[in-house]
Structure 1
Amino acid sequence: MFQIELVEQCKSNNRKAQMELYRQYCDGMYGVALRFVKDPDDAEDVLQESFIKAFQRIHQFRGEVTFGAWLKRIVVNRSIDFLKSKNQKMVEFKDNYLQVAEDDDWTVEDGIALETVREAIETLAEKYRYVVQLFLVEGYDHGEISQILGISDTASRTRLLRGKAQLKEILKKMTYGTGS
């Protein structure tokens, strides 16, 4: 059955169609939640809450993006809300006066494993970690990141730039044991 048909049936509260959409997306969305919350049990909780919210609000899905992209945004937002509820408050950032230089170079030295990069991302300050993860791992652009995190486009760009600089320093220390 085509996705749009499943979504339309879900809008009519068809439980079989809901189960089919769940089956199609649960593994991928679990992975998204796990990348944020880090604990398998918490990721399962976030996943279930995200699907409940998605099915409660499925009438708001207009098809402007794929259902998967729409659902992924719900999972990301729910994951961030979960982290906030665990007293990991996000820091407000005033950025009206900032000018951001673009830096699209995300290369790392040969021999640095993907797992090492992931570990390094985990050590970033929270305000940088979220932006780096949303941009680099989840593939969101600055406009989407600013909406998800409730920050301006400029703050997203600034945090990404600073997060990347911190990430390079962390990787240097992990690789060579020094920051110099």
Structure 2
Amino acid sequence: MFQIDLVEKCKKNDRKAQLHLYRQYCDAMFCVSMRYLKNIDDAQDVTQEAFIRAFQKIDQFKAEVAFGAWLKKIVVNKCIDFLKSRHEHYLSLDENILNVVDDDNWKIEDDVSVDEVKLAIEHLPEKYKYVVMLYLIEGYDHSEISEILGITQTASRTQLLRGKNQLKELLMNKGYGARS
């Protein structure tokens, strides 16, 4: 069955179609939740809540993006909301004194694995970790990150730049050879 057909059936509250979509995406969305929450029980709960929310709001899905991308945004938002509810707040930056420069030339050596980068990201301060994850791993741009985290685009750029600098330091200290 085509995905758009499943979504249309879900819009009509077809439980079999919902179950089919759930089974198709539950593992991938659980992995997204785990990247943020690091706890199996919390990730399962948040993933379930995200699916409930998605099925409640499925009428808002307009197929402008793939269903998986739309669902992933809901999962990420639910994870961020969960973390915020646990009082993990983001540092508010005084943007009037910031001079943000985009640093798109940052690279790491070819022998550094994705897992090593992800592990290093976990050691970043909270205020940088989620911006770096959303940008580098999830592929969101600064306008999307600002919306998800409730910060400005300038704050997103600044936190990303500082987070990438700290990530580079972490990788260099581990001997992975990050370079500018």
CA distance in 1, matches of 2:117, 2:169: 11
CA distance in 1, matches of 2:95, 2:124: 20
Q: Which moved more, 1:92-101 or 1:1-10?
A: 92-101
CA distance in 2, matches of 1:123, 1:131: 13
The equivalences for 1:24-173 within 5 A come to 24-173=24-173
Give the TM-score, by structure 1 length.
0.91
- Number of aligned residue pairs: give it: 176
Q: How big is each residue's C-alpha offset from its partner over 1:38-77, in whole Å with a ceiling of 9 and x where there is no partner?
A: 1122111111010001111111112221111110000001
Q: How big is each residue's C-alpha offset from its partner over 1:23-46, in whole Å with a ceiling of 9 and x where there is no partner?
A: 111111111111110112211111
Give the TM-score, by structure 2 length.
0.91
CA distance in 2, matches of 1:32, 1:8: 25
**Could you tell me the percent identity over the aligned residues?**
61
Q: CA deviation at 1:174?
A: 2.1
CA distance in 2, matches of 1:9, 1:152: 38
- The residue that corresponds to 1:19 in the other structure is 19
Q: CA deviation at 1:162?
A: 0.7
Segments of structure 1 that go 5 or more residues without pairing to the other structure are none
CA distance in 2, matches of 1:112, 1:160: 20
Q: Which moved more, 1:55-64 or 1:42-51?
A: 55-64
Q: CA deviation at 1:94?
A: 3.0
Q: CA deviation at 1:119?
A: 1.7
Task: Name the amino acid aligned to 2:155.
Answer: A
Structure 2 residue 4 is matched with structure 1 residue 4: yes
- The residue that corresponds to 1:175 in the other structure is 175
CA distance in 1, matches of 2:138, 2:16: 29
CA distance in 2, matches of 1:111, 1:67: 34
CA distance in 2, matches of 1:2, 1:109: 41
Segments of structure 2 that go 5 or more residues without pairing to the other structure are none
Q: Which moved more, 1:109-118 or 1:147-156?
A: 109-118
Q: CA deviation at 1:105?
A: 2.6
3-state SS, counterpart of residue 91 of structure 1 = coil
Q: CA deviation at 1:110?
A: 4.5
